[in-house]
Amino acid sequence: MQLKRVVVTGLGAVTPIGNNLTDYWEGLLSGRNGIAPITLFDASRHDCRIAGEVKGFDPHDYLDRKEAKRMDRFSQLAIAASIQALTDAKLTIDELNADEVGVIIGTGVGGLKVLEEQQEVYLSRGPSRVSPFMIPMMIANMAAGLTAIHTGAKGPNNCTVTACAAGSNAIGDAFRLVQRGFVKAMICGGTEAAITPLAIAGFASMKALSTRNDDPTRASRPFDRDRDGFVMGEGAGILILEELEQAKERGAKIYGEIIGYGMTCDAYHMTAPSGQGATRAIELALRDANVQPEQVDYINAHGTSTPANDTTETKAIKKALGEAAYKVAISSTKSMTGHLLGGSGGIEAVASVMAVASDRIPPTINIQNLDSECDLDYVPDKSRAQKVAIALSNSFGFGGHNVTLAFKKYV
């Protein structure tokens, strides 16, 4: 089989620091912080009362009121980012090409908000009052399904649900479909809207969340000695992946090329990373891309701001890259956005592609006292102008799921 070259021709982002690509990217480069007290519900009883909420998002900019009312927020965010990405790519889907365009959008938990709300309805008003739209609003595949309905994409349609690796899995799986000639283009990425009472309570109960409620803008602090947990975020990041020859034929703008996909499992522990799977994911992505460690210019780290992840990821990068690890620029954009769970791989792939396209590296903010076990170049505080020919994006999820994506400057 003759493998196709696959390029990125469109990007869309709805995030805690910007509701479109331009605002998101400028926010990352300027070190804008999106963490603040929770407003989506009354969090006064919770140990954790901060999150990275999407601000000022109006679903009616993309959907009519009746449609929006019948969707959970995670689907609304995905459709918004997908429409942005298609518009950016100037890719029109019609009856001539609909079968050649597919959708894969990952999510960690799907429609949790509507599930919680309808559980309350069930308990207080009885089973007959539960909404007939609960199931189609709740199930995780609906972001991908509804995106296809609203864009007309009739090709392969799937939903990856691999916790915090879901968005990256979606992009990697979409890459394979285009690379092998099954489709000409894919709408792919991740979405999440899990800033809900039960989700915050659940993550807090397992001591995963930061409780720096009195200082929210400094709560997400990857690689810092004093980190105390991650901060929940929400949003969606979508890429348009396209077969190179089609992209050239229609004169598309090309941000970069996707060249590698590594996927492994720790098979070790439900929540604690072993590091071995992460190392192999990086190594597999490099092998798939035919790239040597010393060629990597930038890594967008998973970098959650949890004690276990940041040291384990640092060790994995060092094992996979060897001495080259000390020369590569690394940043965790979660320091600004918080952790979008299944949506994180989407917005972080967008950031990685933009780094390749613009030769700018976003910073890791809030590093005040670097953890002694985290001894690499994490681009602290300020963005950096630097040539980025090859970038990696890491995503690791509960269950031991590990994904690394590799992007390259298009030449």
Q: Which residues of the chain have pLDDT under 70?
A: 269-274
Asked whether residue 279 falls in the same domain as residue 330, the answer is yes
Q: Which of 249, 269, 284 is the last residue in one of the domains? A: 249
Q: How much is the pLDDT for 22?
A: 98
Asked whether residue 241 falls in the same domain as residue 276, the answer is no
- Domain with 93 in it: what CATH number? 3.40.47.10
Q: Which of 249, 283, 304 is the last residue in one of the domains? A: 249
- Residues 6 or more apart whose CB falls under 8 angstroms from that of 258 comprise 6, 7, 8, 171, 175, 241, 405, 406, 407, 408
Q: How far apart are CA 224 and CA 364, in angstroms?
A: 10
Q: How much is the pLDDT for 268?
A: 79
Asked whether residue 215 falls in the same domain as residue 295, the answer is no
Classify residue 256: in a domain, yes or no. no
Asked whether residue 118 falls in the same domain as residue 206, the answer is yes
Residue appearing with tokens 């400094």? 218
Q: How much is the pLDDT for 399?
A: 87
Q: How far apart are CA 407 and CA 349, in angstroms?
A: 9
Asked whether residue 395 falls in the same domain as residue 361, the answer is yes
Asked whether residue 204 falls in the same domain as residue 281, the answer is no
Our count of domains for the chain comes to 2
Range of the domain at 330: 261-405
Asked whether residue 209 falls in the same domain as residue 301, the answer is no
Asked whether residue 172 falls in the same domain as residue 285, the answer is no
Classify residue 1: in a domain, yes or no. no
Asked whether residue 203 falls in the same domain as residue 298, the answer is no
Q: How much is the pLDDT for 270?
A: 63
List beta partners, residue 8.
241, 256
Asked whether residue 105 falls in the same domain as residue 223, the answer is yes
Classify residue 255: in a domain, yes or no. no
CA torsion sign, 276 to 278 to 282 to 285?
A: positive
Asked whether residue 330 falls in the same domain as residue 302, the answer is yes
Classify residue 411: in a domain, yes or no. no
- Show which residues are catalytic: 164, 302, 339
Q: How far apart are CA 184 and CA 179, in angstroms?
A: 9
Q: How much is the pLDDT for 335?
A: 98
Q: Which of 249, 282, 301 is the last residue in one of the domains? A: 249
Asked whether residue 241 falls in the same domain as residue 313, the answer is no
What is the distance between the terminal CA atoms of the chain, rounded to a whole angstrom?
23
Q: How much is the pLDDT for 183?
A: 98
The predicted model scores a pTM of 0.97
